[in-house]
A = this chain, B = another copy of it.
């Protein structure tokens, strides 16, 4: 019999409850429930404490980041109380005028196991993250915890095979993506043809499927499981300029061979998944992709573009 090492995991997919206090209260309730059912690892969605404030560019939201150290104390207590390894996603003030989108990982005794500062920062209508977050400078470093070596990345990183690969080369036993992604709604006063055309059910389905597909690819290419936790629910644009975002939920887990182990719908969910952290080692014996990488021929991966 081959080795098996089961990691009981819970992904908390939830909506924003109008305030940080109410939202955190709901999250803690979900963590408690997940822990009660045996979860050893709980993963929260991106920027789970507040609304997804990057829908507009407004300096008042930097105040959220001022509470970063307090937030760490708070989630430390939660992790310790429920005896779970906890992946959080916080807004970090590093210095005045210098902010990161930072995942902080807590050990089950409440200590900080490590942190990851989001490396790839998006910027498109409704997702103005380049205004708020300086790209991370800690590189792609997995976090060692009592439940395994966690390759924690954040949202936009999920589109980059480079990030998944480096985490794998550094021994990550699972890739974890807290996420906030959804469909931009057309503003009430701009239900014009172009906006509607981009928002047909077919176009929305394509986007959702592409998002799942690229991460499934990471699982297969690297022989590692993937856990992704997304927001759900509609959130309006605080500035009133855009039509708001309908976060599409669909948190999921893939096995190291790309089997979908679990997937949520578009509603609040505590998605429980039992991962076998030894399964990847078996898959890699059949498909030993790491053996044959042409590291002598990958120099161009460090180019912005080649030839012009």
Residues of chain A at the chain B interface (Cβ within 8 Å): 119-122, 124, 135, 139-140, 156, 159-166, 169-171, 206-207, 209-210, 213-221, 257-259, 286-290, 292-295, 297-307
Among candidates B119, B122, B209, residue contacting A294 with C-beta atoms closer than 8 Å: B119
How far, in whole Å, are A119 and B303 apart by their CA atoms in the complex?
A: 20
For chain A, what secondary structure do more than half of its interface residues adopt (helix, strand, loop), or is it mixed? helix
Interchain CB contact under 8 A, A258 and B306 = no
Chain B residues closer than 8 Å to A206, beta-carbon distance? 257-259
How far, in whole Å, are A219 and B209 apart by their CA atoms in the complex?
A: 12
Interchain CB contact under 8 A, B220 and A210 = yes
Among candidates B122, B156, B288, B293, residue contacting A160 with C-beta atoms closer than 8 Å: B293
Interchain CB contact under 8 A, A169 and B300 = yes
Among candidates B165, B169, B294, residue contacting A120 with C-beta atoms closer than 8 Å: B294
| This chain's copy number in the assembly | 2
Chain B residues closer than 8 Å to A305, beta-carbon distance? 169, 290
Among candidates B169, B209, B219, B292, residue contacting A306 with C-beta atoms closer than 8 Å: B169
Interchain CB contact under 8 A, B213 and A121 = no
Interchain CB contact under 8 A, A300 and B161 = no
How far, in whole Å, are A62 and B24 apart by their CA atoms in the complex?
A: 67
Given contacts A209-B258, A217-B213, A258-B213, contact A162 B165 (CB under 8 A): yes
Among candidates B164, B207, B258, B294, residue contacting A210 with C-beta atoms closer than 8 Å: B258
How far, in whole Å, are A121 and B294 apart by their CA atoms in the complex?
A: 10
Interchain CB contact under 8 A, A306 and B170 = yes
Among candidates B140, B209, B293, B295, residue contacting A297 with C-beta atoms closer than 8 Å: B140
How far, in whole Å, are A103 and B124 apart by their CA atoms in the complex?
A: 39
How far, in whole Å, are A6 and B29 apart by their CA atoms in the complex?
A: 54
Q: List 10 additional contacts besides A170-B307, A299-B302; criterion CB under 8 Å.
A: A120-B294, A159-B287, A161-B165, A162-B294, A166-B297, A169-B300, A170-B300, A210-B220, A213-B217, A213-B219
Interchain CB contact under 8 A, B258 and A221 = no
Q: Mind listing 11 A-B residue pairs with CB under 8 Å?
A: A119-B294, A124-B288, A159-B221, A160-B289, A161-B221, A162-B165, A166-B297, A169-B303, A213-B216, A217-B218, A295-B303
Chain B residues closer than 8 Å to A299, beta-carbon distance? 302
How far, in whole Å, are A122 and B287 apart by their CA atoms in the complex?
A: 9
Chain B residues closer than 8 Å to A295, beta-carbon distance? 301-304
Interchain CB contact under 8 A, B257 and A292 = no
Chain B residues closer than 8 Å to A169, beta-carbon distance? 300-301, 303, 305-306
Report A143 CB to chain B, min CB distance, Å: 14
Interchain CB contact under 8 A, A165 and B301 = yes
How far, in whole Å, are A216 and B212 apart by their CA atoms in the complex?
A: 10
Report A191 CB to chain B, min CB distance, Å: 19
How far, in whole Å, are A12 and B39 apart by their CA atoms in the complex?
A: 50
Chain B residues closer than 8 Å to A307, beta-carbon distance? 170-171
Among candidates B171, B220, B298, residue contacting A302 with C-beta atoms closer than 8 Å: B298
